[in-house]
Structure 1
Amino acid sequence: MNVHLPLTDVHLTPELYFVIPGELKTLTGGYAYDRELMTALRHAGIIVHHVTLSGQFPTPDESALADAGAQLAAIPDQALVLIDGLAYGVMDTLAAREHHRLRIIALCHHPLALETGLTEDVKAALLQSERTALTLACAVVVTSSATASLLTERFDVSADKITVALPGTGRPAFAPCRGQPPCLLTVATLTRRKAHDVLISALSRVEALPWRARFVGGDQFDPAWSAQLRTQVADLGLGERIQFAGSVDDLNTEYAAADVFVLPSRFEGYGMVFAEALSYGLPVIAAHAGAVPDVVPDSAGILVAPDDADKLAAALHAILSTPSHFAALRRGAQAAAAQLPQWQNTANQLIAVLQTVAQQQVNQQT
């Protein structure tokens, strides 16, 4: 696994085809990563061609796959091509057709096969297609060391083929954290993996304490699950205290107005929102799952077992009822913020991968 790849002496034509399914402006962590990376690469002088695939991925129909095939076929021979894993994980057949001609780099935010709520048959099919596609890539870029380990252990990807390019963050002013009552902020799409249901159950257990909760995130990815969450809130009588805010274009105001960040995801390939919360100096309460422990140090948050509403409620009680504990975690979050990478660091990691892949091509031709 490579965290810092050395630049080689090979001349790199500053040109990249970045293949992304759906709308780049979509408000999720993965799309935010792609947007920020694209901007940082261009700032570094790389010419980035944005290739847009169907928004049906990762469950494309034949038409969407045919369109993806046509778009890959139109890319010049030997071009450097970065493909977002939301599409690449099910593009194994196309990768087999094009990998001799194109220098394909896979960008894996988190494995598709590890999404929550999949049937065993779907999970097995995704595991196979993703394993095959990743094997055919020249290099693989992941957003956390935890995801790198998953790919080596479960997807048979060689560690020396993987580079970790951590998401960057800005350097905003710290949130004042003076909410009366304290604002508990959650930023995540309303999907099963994000475990809003566990959080709602935990909040019902600390109803006697002062707090208000704000759930920021779209409900379009799983409308039935979103409706179930709203019903859960209503049945517990928490409708006046938990607000479903929907998608929000500018998250800066959300973080700045919050006191604590809470998100008990069942799995995270990285979890950009945790880093963003830390950048605002917010204490974090989350599940000890996926890459979250790599992002949130003990000094800045409380991590509990996934799917444990009782432990989550205990963490909420501790931070809401003990001012000294809250203050200590807030100081820890502010200290952690200074250690977070910036987006140009992320771009530099990717540029190093491009250099390495370009050098491999030169070596094969000599």
Structure 2
Amino acid sequence: MRQAAFAIPGDIDTVTGGYIYERRLLEELRALGHDVAHVQLAASFPDPSDTDMNDAVTQLVALDPARALILDGLVYGSIATEGLARVRAPIVAMIHHPLALETGLATAQRMHLFRTEKANLALARHVLVPSPHTARILRDDYGVPGAKITIAQPGTDVKGGTPSPVDPPLILSVGLQHPRKGHDVLLNALAELRDLPWRAAIVGGVHNAEHAALLARMVEDLALSDRMTLMGRVPQDVLDGLYATASVFALATRYEGYGMVFDEALAWGLPIISCATGAVPDTVPKGAGILVASDNVGELSGALGRVLTDKALRGRMARIALRAGSKLPTWKDTARVAGGVLDSLNA
């Protein structure tokens, strides 16, 4: 088996989809017998200081070329190209979604990230992505040959449990308090459904303090505080309890490179209301969800209203979701795909 190093910025135990993916991939590659070293880079990527940039380049250049380097996308899309070109180890880029597609970037920053990531991808021996959507973008917009891209779909540990939906129905949303997750759109949509019985919870840590403060103000201004809770980050057993008692999963995301929370919702047999953006249409099976346009409050409230008021529809969607959830890959499956890529690299 090919030895490797996995370079990841910041705390590997950070609770986001990207970090969970990489931590589990590292663990499962090791469990399969791969010798994979963890290289911790500065948490400031993708906007590193000069010191952090120099430290990252120094660590990566010093790697034994006998080890393949798996490099996290937050670093890959923003590290100086001239520094990356000095790395002697064969490079496998781990791209969850291109950095230039992040929500809220200024035009100049977006173009800088696009140019940097495109130039850096030309240096990769291979590229791992979580979804067909990301593969298409890298091929069509970044010029990466299809033969150099492998889709390693995220695994899931979620086995689901016995659903015990509460009354009134609970609408569950899981995602960081970050503009890209669209929680502001969800709140506005819920405000249009005051005449229906429901409760709602948004679970996810604060990634952007200003946006989190905005969401808290919106809950008050929209008079939703009596049935909407911004829960922040919660322990897994609490989250499992919310999935078990929910009737609908809703995420008004503006973009996803995959969206691992959709797999969790499927495993729990929840109907999904989300947006037809990024990899969401690839991730949410037909019949298990209703996908609307991003940033369209009216369409989102309409979809939620349909599922809340049509018990038969909700039941059909739940059954389709549960069947799809039972067929999701494990993290060992994901690691086998990635390990095959490592073993295929020439010295």
Does the CA-based 8 Å contact 1:142-1:164 persist in structure 2? yes
Query: Which residue of the other structure, out of 338, 341, 353, is the alignment partner of 2:326?
Result: 338
Please list every run of at least 4 consecutive aligned residues from structure 1 whose deviation after the TM superposition is greater than 3 angstroms. none
Residue 177 of structure 1: how far off its partner (Å): 4.1
Which amino acid in structure 2 is aligned with residue 54 of structure 1?
Answer: A
Matched, 1:243 2:229: yes
**Equivalent residue number for residue 269 of structure 2:** 281
1:7 matched residue in structure 2 = none
Find 1:93's aligned residue among 61, 71, 82: 82
Shift of 1:262: 0.5
Counterpart of 2:187?
Answer: 200
Normalised to the residue count of structure 1, the TM-score between the two structures is 0.91
Residue in 1 that maps onto 2:209: 223
Q: Aligned pair 1:141/2:135, yes or no?
A: no
Partner of 2:59: 71
**Does the aligned pair in 1 maintain the 2:61–2:86 contact within 8 Å?**
no
Task: State the 1:16 CA deviation.
Answer: 1.5
Indicate the residue corresponding to 2:19 in structure 1: 31
The size of the alignment, in residue pairs, is 344
Structure 1 residue aligned with 2:260: 272
Q: CA RMSD in A?
A: 1.2
Hey, what does 1:209 align to over in structure 2? 196
Classify the secondary structure of the residue corresponding to 2:86.
helix
3-state SS in 2 of match to 1:261: strand
Contact 1:175 1:259 in 2 (8 A): no
Aligned residue for 1:181, secondary structure, equals: coil
Contact 1:175 1:257 in 2 (8 A): no
Residue of structure 2 aligned with 1:299, choices 287, 290, 293: 287
Residues of 1 paired with 2:184 and 2:76: CA distance? 30
Task: Say if 2:174 and 2:202, in contact at 8 Å, map to a contact too.
Answer: yes
Secondary structure in 2 matching 1:141: strand
CA distance in 2, matches of 1:24, 1:253: 25
Q: Give the CA deviation at 1:171.
A: 4.7
Distance in 2 of aligned mates of 1:77 and 1:33: 25
Q: What letter matches 1:96 in structure 2?
A: A
Q: Unaligned stretches of 5+ in structure 2? A: none
1:154 aligns to 2:171 (yes or no): no
Q: Is the 8 A contact 1:142 1:165 kept in 2?
A: yes
**2:32 equivalent among 9, 32, 44:** 44
Q: Which amino acid aligns with 2:100?
A: A
Is this contact kept in 1: 2:97–2:257, CA < 8 A?
yes
The aligned counterpart of 1:233 is 219
Q: Residues 165 and 244 of structure 2 are in contact (CA less than 8 Å); yes or no, is this contact kept in structure 1?
A: no
Change over 3 Å in CA distance of 1:175–1:156 after alignment to 2:
farther
The one-letter code of the counterpart of 1:224 is: E
Q: Distance in 1 between matches of 2:240 and 2:85?
A: 42
Contact 2:163 2:268 in 1 (8 A): no
Shift of 1:257: 3.0
Q: Is the 8 A contact 1:282 1:334 kept in 2?
A: yes
In the alignment, which of 164, 172, 176 is matched to residue 189 of structure 1?
A: 176
Counterpart residue type for residue 111 of structure 2:
A
CA distance in 2 between partners of 1:277 and 1:93 (Å): 42
Instruction: Mark the CA change 1:261 to 1:145 in structure 2 (over 3 Å): closer, same or farther.
Output: same
Q: CA deviation at 1:231?
A: 1.1
Matching residue of 1:124: 111
Specify the SS of the correspondent of 1:227. helix
CA distance in 2, matches of 1:49, 1:35: 12
CA displacement 1:82-110 (0-9 Å, x = unmatched):
01101111112321121xx1111000011
For the 8 Å contact 1:175–1:258, the answer to whether it is kept is no
- When the two structures are superposed, what TM-score results if normalisation uses the length of structure 2? 0.96
Aligned counterpart for 1:318 among listed residues 306, 317, 323: 306
Q: CA deviation at 1:312?
A: 0.5
- Residues 301-353 of structure 1: per-residue CA shift (max 9 Å, x gap): 11111111101001110111111111111111111112211111100110110
Secondary structure, in 3 states, of the residue corresponding to 1:213? strand
Tell me the CA shift for residue 298 of structure 1: 2.0
Q: Does 1:308 align with 2:296?
A: yes
Which amino acid letter does the alignment assign opposite residue 313 of structure 2?
H
Contact between 1:27 and 1:249, CA under 8 Å: does it hold in 2?
no
- Name the stretch that deviates more: 109-118 or 167-176: 167-176
Aligned partners of 1:347, 1:93: CA distance in 2, in Å? 30
> 1:97 aligns to what SS in structure 2?
coil
Distance in 2 between residues matched to 1:175 and 1:240, nearest whole Å: 28
CA shift in 2, pair 1:129/1:170, >3 Å: same
Contact 2:170-2:248 at 8 Å conserved across structures = yes
Per-residue Cα deviation, 1:24-62 (whole angstroms, up to 9, x for no partner): 111100011011111111111112211111110110000
